[in-house]
């Protein structure tokens, strides 16, 4: 592997970790909402996770068009 490939691998691994953490947070938030109506996370936490999810969307490479023959 060359240096750019390693750099990309590290970023891909970290983004996978962040996606898993965001997914776990959404599940915990949904479970807490089921238990109580007023158990919503503080605004600071909700905004923080929103920023993480938005950043992950920016990191995802754009979908490239597929060739017409396939």
| Residues 39, 63 contacting (CB under 8 angstroms) | no
Q: Can you list the alpha helix ranges (DSSP code H) found in the chain?
A: 3-35, 43-59
The pLDDT assigned to 9 comes to 87
The pLDDT assigned to 40 comes to 55
The pLDDT assigned to 30 comes to 83
Non-local (6+) Cβ contacts of 40 within 8 A are 29, 32, 33, 46
Tell me the per-residue pLDDT of 1-19, one tens digit each, with 9 for 90 and over: 567 788 888 888 999 999 9
Q: What's the CA gap between 15 and 59, in Å, rounded?
A: 8
Tell me the per-residue pLDDT of 20-66, one tens digit each, with 9 for 90 and over: 999 999 888 888 776 655 545 678 888 888 999 888 888 877 777 77
């Amino acid at each position: 592997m060359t240096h750019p490939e390693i750099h990309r691998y590290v970023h891909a691994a970290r983004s996978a970790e962040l996606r898993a953490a965001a997914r776990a947070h959404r599940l915990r938030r949904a479970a807490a909402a089921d238990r109580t109506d007023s158990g919503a996370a503080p605004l600071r936490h909700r905004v923080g996770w929103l920023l993480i999810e938005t950043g992950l969307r920016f990191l995802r490479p754009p979908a490239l068009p597929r060739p017409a023959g396939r």
